[in-house]
Structures are given as C-alpha cells and as structure tokens.
C-alpha cells in the first residue's frame, strides 16, 4: 500500500514538475536547466546496456556511468526542442514530417563528428523520450526492487497503445502549416549547427 502511494506521488510530482517547467519554458521560449536535467535523466532509462549503432553493430554501454554517454546541457536542450517539433508532428499524424525532422537532426549530429557512438544513442533516446512524453505515451513510475517481476500483460499493453493513438488528432490546415514551418526552422537550425562545428 505504501509502495503504491509512493509510486503515485513520484509519478504525480514528476508530471507536475515537468508540466510547470514546460509552461514556464513556453513563456521564455526556452527550457530551464532543471527541466533539461530531469528529461535527460529520464531518457537514460531508455538506453540499454547493449545497443545497435547506425551500422547495425552491437555497442556495449556502461549504464552505471551515464556521464560517458550523456551530452552537455545546451546540446540536450537542442535535442529536446527538436523532439518537441517531432512530437507536434506525431500528434497530428504527420509521420513524414516527424521522420524528416528526426533524421535531419541525427544526420547532422553524426556529421559533426563531435559525439561518441554511445552519445549518439543517447541523443536518439532523448529525442524519443521527448516525443513519448509530449504525445502522452510515456509514463513515469517508481519500481520497488523487492517486488517480483510481473508477467507482461498483453491486454494492458494494447490498451496503452490505443490510448496513445487516441491522443493523436486530425489537425487543421493552420496547425499543419505551423508544424511544416517548425520543421523547416528545425532543419535550418540543424544545418547551422553543422556549419559551426
């Protein structure tokens, strides 16, 4: 019972914190350092100990040392901003624009030759987490390590997928045009990053 209450409190607190920071950031047109740190920390949970890199090779990642694959704050902020644009496209079912936005970012970050392979994996996961969070398909829960692992519940998983689909919508022409402009702007920013490096 206590564990369930603590899980609910952790979930609610994290949700409330990120919601307040996101609203504040919208006013400032930027994300606070604290919000970037929290989102980056949550995104590390999506990084696995063994990952396939862009070439299909298995990459070993030491999850006990996140500093070896995390990226500086300003770069993480940039990835989250790109993720927000991708999320808007995702919510409006503009999958081609979502893919174009993401693929341009990843191509540029690879071409900059600034990151290690584990850092490129983290960039991918931070973008993914941002899209999941904003589209409502990410959920934060605290897991009690003393509890036995539960069997995978297919029915519950299918329900989550349906809930996530329900959060997508048919957007108006004005919304679509706005997202198209955001993607164009994201691509320009990405190309400018390449020129700077």
Domain ranges of the chain: 2-143+150-196
| pLDDT at res. 101 | 97
Cβ pair 117, 53 in contact under 8 A:
yes
| pLDDT at res. 164 | 61
- Tokens 């029915």 belong to 155
Strands 50-52 vs 58-60: parallel, antiparallel or unpaired? antiparallel
Handedness of CA 23, 24, 25, 27 (dihedral sign): positive
Q: What is the 3 state secondary structure string of 136-196?
A: CCCCCCCCCCCCCCCCCCHHHHHHHHHHHHHCCCCCCHHHHHHHHHHHHHHHHHHHHHHHH
Provide the whole-model pTM.
0.74
- Tokens 């003393």 belong to 146
Helices (H) and strands (E) in the chain, counts: 7, 2
| pLDDT at res. 21 | 44
| pLDDT at res. 5 | 38
- Residue 155, CA distances (Å) to 60, 137, 158 in order: 33, 16, 5
| pLDDT at res. 26 | 47
Q: What is the CA radius of gyration of the chain?
A: 18
Alpha carbon 32 to its chain centroid, in Å, reads 16
Residues shown for the chain = 197
Q: pLDDT by residue for the chain (197 residues), tens digit each?
A: 333 333 433 444 444 444 444 444 444 468 899 999 999 999 999 999 998 876 788 999 999 999 999 999 999 999 999 999 999 999 999 999 999 999 999 999 999 999 999 999 999 999 999 999 998 876 666 556 666 555 556 676 666 656 666 666 789 999 999 999 999 999 999 999 988 87
């Amino acid at each position: 019972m206590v564990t369930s209450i603590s899980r609910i409190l952790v979930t609610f607190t994290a949700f409330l914190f990120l919601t307040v920071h996101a609203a504040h950031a919208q006013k400032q047109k930027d994300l606070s350092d604290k919000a970037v740190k929290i989102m980056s920390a949550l995104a590390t949970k999506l990084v696995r100990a063994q990952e396939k890199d862009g070439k299909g090779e298995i990459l070993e990642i030491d999850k006990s040392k996140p500093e070896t694959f995390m990226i500086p704050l300003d770069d993480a902020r940039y990835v989250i901003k790109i993720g927000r644009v991708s999320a808007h496209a995702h919510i409006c079912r503009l999958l081609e624009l979502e893919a174009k936005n993401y693929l341009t970012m990843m191509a540029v970050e690879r071409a900059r030759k600034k990151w290690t392979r584990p850092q490129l994996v983290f960039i991918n996961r931070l973008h993914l987490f941002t899209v999941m969070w904003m589209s409502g398909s990410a959920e934060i829960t605290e897991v009690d390590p003393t509890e036995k692992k539960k069997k995978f519940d297919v029915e519950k998983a299918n329900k989550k997928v349906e809930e996530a689909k329900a959060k997508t919508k048919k957007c108006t022409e004005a919304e679509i045009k706005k997202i198209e402009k955001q993607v164009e702007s994201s691509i320009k920013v990405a190309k400018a990053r390449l020129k700077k490096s």
